[in-house]
Amino acid sequence: MRIEPLSTCERNFIRECILINKRVDGRSSDDFRKFDISISESDGIIIAMLGKTKVSAQINSHTFQPRPHHPQNGSLHIDVDMSPMASPNHDNRLLGRRGLELTSFLEALYRDSECIDFESLCIKEGELAVELKIMVRILDDEGSLFDCASIAITTALSLYRRPFVEIRDGLAITYSASEKALVPIDLYHKPFSITFGFMKDISFPILDPTDRETLCLEGSLVIGCNKRGEVCNLFQSGRLLINHEMVLKCIARALSRCEHVTDLIVAVVERQKRSEMGVTSVPMEITNPNVPGHVSKAEEEMSIG
């Protein structure tokens, strides 16, 4: 089974809507979809929803012997599951080209950008360290998969706490949460990705394209960045020739978006931590000034399951 192909009439309709700056779902070309975050306290699964796109992230950890060329560092592994449940285009046994691109991008965004303090994951130099395994599952693929996955992973890293491990008498001992306090992950920064779609003969990019809009694109540019104004990763798909000025405009827009998303994620994480400690507080309200680069007020209504 494969996804329903895009007819010529539908393709022309989507293009005409974008040209008049009124997309099929009511957004302008510069608007993002609402996103929500659901947190499962029992198993630590984070589910991020960007529009109808839904991605889950769960972190586990285990000990291993560090590699000789990095004896003081822990490790990070990202496992992506592109099941047919999310889209008929996904193969049940293979990642496919899109799955491989997503895995490669996420590993570069979180491992190569050094957002995690890998030295803090070392238990004993050259002998024992902690590896974080992030299991990413695509639950519903309705466009901007990279963006939704980055929201889920960053939230999961912000909330995850690993078991305390020490070496005693030459043996590695892993303590349960009841024996010793769990250890949070040290993050230097919180990266996110923002997707820009480009159509033939249309001079401006389309932010956060849906799955049907993606079928009309000539290519896309995915920018990984953080609140500190740093570009962590760039990924380009399709046959695109983007000039220098357009790339800089996209980066500026992505940085503005990332700053706002980071503030919302930090607020969600703090609320979750207070909830775990049993601290009650009045409902939190986040105001969003109507300035370029920020999302609509509807996007701020984030749910915690």
pLDDT in tens, the chain (305 residues): 466 778 889 999 999 999 998 899 999 989 999 989 998 877 789 999 999 999 999 999 999 999 888 899 999 999 998 877 767 666 666 778 888 999 999 999 999 888 999 999 999 988 999 999 999 999 998 989 999 999 999 999 999 999 999 888 888 888 888 889 999 999 999 999 999 999 988 889 999 999 999 989 999 999 999 999 999 999 998 878 888 999 999 999 999 999 989 998 999 888 888 887 764 433 333 333 333 333 333 343 444 44
Please tell me the predicted confidence (pLDDT) of residue 197: 94
Judge whether 217 and 199 are in contact, CB under 8 Å.
Answer: yes
What residues does 228 pair with on adjacent strands? Answer: none
Q: Give the closest residue to 139 by CA, choosing from 58, 47, 215.
A: 47
Please give the Cα distance from 29 to 206 (Å, whole number): 5
Neighbour-count burial of 152, counting CB atoms closer than 10 A to its CB (0-12 exposed, 13-18 middle, 19+ buried): buried
Tokens of 126: 């050259």
Please give the Cα distance from 166 to 169 (Å, whole number): 10
Report the phi/psi class of residue 239: left, alpha or beta, with left for phi > 0 and alpha for psi in -120 to 50: beta
Residue 267's H or E segment, with its range, is helix 244-276
Please give the Cα distance from 248 to 283 (Å, whole number): 38
C-alpha to C-alpha distances, 10 to 121, 213, 236, nearest whole angstrom: 51, 10, 25
**Rg for the chain, CA atoms, rounded:** 21
Look-up of token digits 């405009």: 249
Tokens of 186: 């040290």
Please give the Cα distance from 254 to 222 (Å, whole number): 9
CATH code for the structural domain at 23-276: 3.30.230.70
Spatial CB neighbours of 291, under 8 Å, sequence gap ≥ 6: none
Q: Where are the domains of the chain?
A: 23-276
Tokens of 212: 């049907």
Its pTM stands at 0.86
Q: Give the closest residue to 203 by CA, choosing from 29, 31, 33, 32.
A: 29
